[in-house]
């Protein structure tokens, strides 16, 4: 029997949680403590069932409660829990081969790590070291896009344009920010998704020319930006960015940490536009979060620069390539393939998007609904014509978070401005109906509250 009060008190005394403080959490009665999960639903210590509409951190791709993955982990654990220095293990080798098979083009060689931030740090180091080995050591700058997120550590904390970084100054050198190709709010004034795509791609070329190609190492970007609430660029964007990178010898790093493993209705989102990046990073869906593992996979062209004793990529991480995580990843990919969860993500995602769009007619505060596969976003505005967001004083965020909670949805808004969803890919149409109905009620309650101050 779980002593819920004791666990909550202990969490308040000893635990530091993602972006939360214990004073406010104490006022709310302590953190929510989850004890079990099945599919898209989880149960807390009070026995209440919730829909986890963002599937962990858009990361529980196959859904909760897959005992086959637990069994694969247990089997590997009882045989071999780690490996002696300088050696490797069968599950890890099999995983590297499997990833080479399912990633597009000639992405062939994997550098396994433990999380998405580490994967992107590794990708940046590979890009810089690659140029150095080719006699272009001046290339160190990394172009990413405003409104994206690539991780919480080191250099990648300065990639993308999120807030909350002032505590960690000084900024990492050489991190440049290009516009996000968001057709709903095109920073470059593009009136259509195509126009926005072309102008935002052009902005990357302009930036490379302004800084000088001999200083730019890589473009780091998510094919579909999750942290901008599922921004799907116009179709021109990715082929153009690929061409621009090739034109100036800049490496293209696709951050598929959220996008990968079926999230957008393809195994990898780069496939929507037929673009093969030079380096692809992956995490979350690689094990559906059953264990922490991530990876940077590179093309043979990039890998070749590191062949030979004098060219070794100098990095070593104790837990990169852990055999038990590899066993979990292999079983997870097997489930994604055998249950066609990629196809389900495309099909149910398209249905879910339609249902969310239908909410717009009843809720004037829904400015935009967007996404692809089961990576979906809603943008909230005070005025649809001007697209003005609500001011912070309106208190949309606390009202909305409370309303979502009351509806039994585990889902938080970003500052009351956007709601992003990345549910498990085993979601059914009836699950999508259920989430839509709960969102309908929650947003209705917020709109009513805003009218009656
Ligand atoms: C696109 C993207 N890249 C990288 C990361 C960082 O991954 P992690 O939290 O595993 O370090 C995240 C995390 O949400 C992400 O969404």
Instruction: Please provide the distance, in angstroms rounded to a whole number, between the alpha carbons at the two ends of the chain.
Output: 43
Query: What's the CA-to-centroid distance between 18 and ligand 1, angstroms?
Result: 13
Domain count, the chain: 2
Kindly state whether residues 39 and 129 are assigned to the same domain: no
- Alpha-carbon gap, residue 233 to 406, rounded angstroms: 34
Angle at 179 between CA 231 and CA 59, to 5 degrees: 35
Domain contains 2: no
Query: What's the CA-to-centroid distance between 71 and ligand 1, angstroms?
Result: 27
Task: Read off the pLDDT of each residue in 362-385 and give the average, rounded to a whole number.
Answer: 98
Kindly state whether residues 155 and 190 are assigned to the same domain: yes
Kindly state whether residues 192 and 309 are assigned to the same domain: yes
User: Under 8 Å CB-to-CB from 145, ≥6 apart: which residues?
Assistant: 160, 161, 177, 178, 179, 180, 181, 200, 221, 225
**CATH number where 44 lies:** 3.90.1150.10
**309-to-88, 137, 298, 314 alpha-carbon distances in Å:** 19, 19, 19, 11
CA-proximal residue: ligand 1, atom 9 (nearest): 116
Please spell the DSSP secondary structure of 200-231, one letter per residue: HHHHHHHHHHHH-GGGEEEEEE-SSBTTTTSB
Please give the distance of CA 422 from its chain centroid, rounded to a whole number: 9
Domain contains 425: yes
Q: pLDDT, tens digit, for every residue of 305-321?
A: 999 999 999 999 999 99
Q: pLDDT, tens digit, for every residue of 29-76?
A: 899 999 999 999 999 999 999 999 999 999 999 999 999 999 999 999
Kindly state whether residues 132 and 260 are assigned to the same domain: yes
Q: Which residues line ligand 1 (CB under 6 A)?
A: 57, 115-117, 120, 149-151, 222, 226, 255, 257-258, 283
- Mutation to probe ligand 1, out of 283, 287, 295 (largest number of atoms < 8 A from CB): 283
Kindly state whether residues 180 and 233 are assigned to the same domain: yes
CA-proximal residue: ligand 1, atom 4 (nearest): 150
Asked whether residue 412 carries a pLDDT value surpassing 80, the answer given is yes
Kindly state whether residues 319 and 175 are assigned to the same domain: yes
**CATH number where 107 lies:** 3.40.640.10
Single residue among 317, 338, 359 that ends a domain in this structure? 338
Domain contains 85: yes
Instruction: Please give the pLDDT value at position 19.
Output: 85
Query: What's the CA-to-centroid distance between 361 and ligand 1, angstroms?
Result: 34
Kindly state whether residues 270 and 392 are assigned to the same domain: no
Task: Read off the pLDDT of each residue in 233-237 and give the average, rounded to a whole number.
Answer: 98
- Mutation to probe ligand 1, out of 18, 59, 116 (largest number of atoms < 8 A from CB): 116
Query: To the nearest whole percent, how much of the chain has pLDDT over 90?
Result: 95
Mean pLDDT (the chain) is 96
Q: Classify residue 141 as exposed, middle or buried by CB count within 10 Å of its CB (0-12, 13-18, 19+).
A: buried
Kindly state whether residues 279 and 387 are assigned to the same domain: no
- Which pLDDT band holds residue 1 (cuts at 50, 70, 90)? low
CA-proximal residue: ligand 1, atom 16 (nearest): 258
Question: What domain range includes position 41?
Answer: 32-62+340-451
b/e code 236-256 from CB counts within 10 Å (16+ = b): bbbebbbebbeebebbbbbbb
Instruction: Please give the pLDDT value at position 453.
Output: 59
Domain contains 4: no
Domain contains 126: yes
| Across 153-162, 268-277, 314-323, 377-386, least confident range | 153-162
Kindly state whether residues 97 and 187 are assigned to the same domain: yes
- Alpha-carbon gap, residue 115 to 153, rounded angstroms: 11
């Amino acid at each position: 029997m779980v002593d819920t009060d004791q666990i909550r008190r202990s969490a308040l005394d000893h635990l530091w949680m993602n972006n939360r403080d214990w004073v406010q959490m104490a006022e709310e009665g302590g953190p929510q403590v989850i004890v079990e999960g099945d599919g898209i639903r989880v149960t807390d210590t009070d026995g209440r069932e919730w829909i986890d509409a963002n599937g962990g951190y858009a990361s529980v791709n196959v859904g909760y409660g897959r005992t086959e993955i637990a069994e694969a982990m247990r089997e590997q654990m009882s045989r071999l829990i780690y490996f002696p220095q300088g050696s490797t293990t069968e599950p890890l080798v099999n995983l590297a081969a499997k990833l080479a098979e399912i990633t597009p083009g000639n992405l062939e060689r994997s550098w396994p790590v433990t999380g998405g931030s580490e994967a992107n740090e590794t990708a940046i180091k590979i890009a810089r070291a690659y140029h150095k080995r080719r006699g272009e050591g001046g290339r160190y700058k990394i172009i990413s896009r405003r409104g994206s997120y690539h991780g919480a550590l080191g250099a990648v904390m300065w990639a993308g344009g999120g807030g909350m970084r002032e505590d960690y100054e000084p900024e990492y050198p050489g991190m440049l920010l290009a516009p996000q190709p968001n057709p709903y709010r095109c920073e470059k004034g593009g009136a259509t998704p195509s126009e926005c795509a072309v102008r935002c791609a052009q902005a990357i070329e302009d930036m490379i020319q302004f800084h000088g190609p001999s200083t730019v190492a890589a473009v780091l970007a998510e094919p579909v930006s999750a942290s901008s609430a599922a921004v799907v660029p116009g179709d021109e964007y990715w082929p153009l960015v690929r061409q621009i990178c090739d034109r100036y010898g800049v490496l293209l790093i696709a951050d598929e940490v959220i996008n990968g493993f079926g999230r957008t209705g393809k195994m990898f989102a780069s496939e929507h536009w037929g673009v093969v990046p030079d380096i692809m990073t992956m995490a979350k869906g690689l094990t559906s979060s059953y264990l922490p593992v991530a990876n940077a996979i590179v093309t043979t062209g990039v890998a070749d620069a590191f062949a030979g004793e004098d060219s070794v990529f100098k990095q070593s991480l104790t837990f990169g390539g852990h055999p038990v995580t590899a066993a979990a990843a292999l079983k997870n990919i097997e489930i994604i393939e055998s249950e066609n969860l990629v196809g389900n993500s495309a099909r149910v995602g398209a249905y879910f998007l339609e249902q969310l769009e239908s909410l717009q007619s009843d809720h004037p505060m829904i400015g935009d609904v967007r996404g692809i596969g089961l990576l979906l976003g809603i943008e909230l505005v005070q005025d649809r014509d001007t697209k003005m967001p609500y001011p912070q004083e309106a208190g949309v965020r606390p009202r909305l978070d409370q309303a979502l909670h009351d509806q039994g949805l585990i889902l938080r808004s970003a500052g009351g401005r956007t709601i992003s969803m990345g549910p498990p890919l085993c979601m059914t149409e009836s699950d999508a109906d259920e989430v839509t109905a709960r969102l309908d009620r929650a947003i209705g309650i917020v709109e009513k509250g805003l009218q009656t101050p």
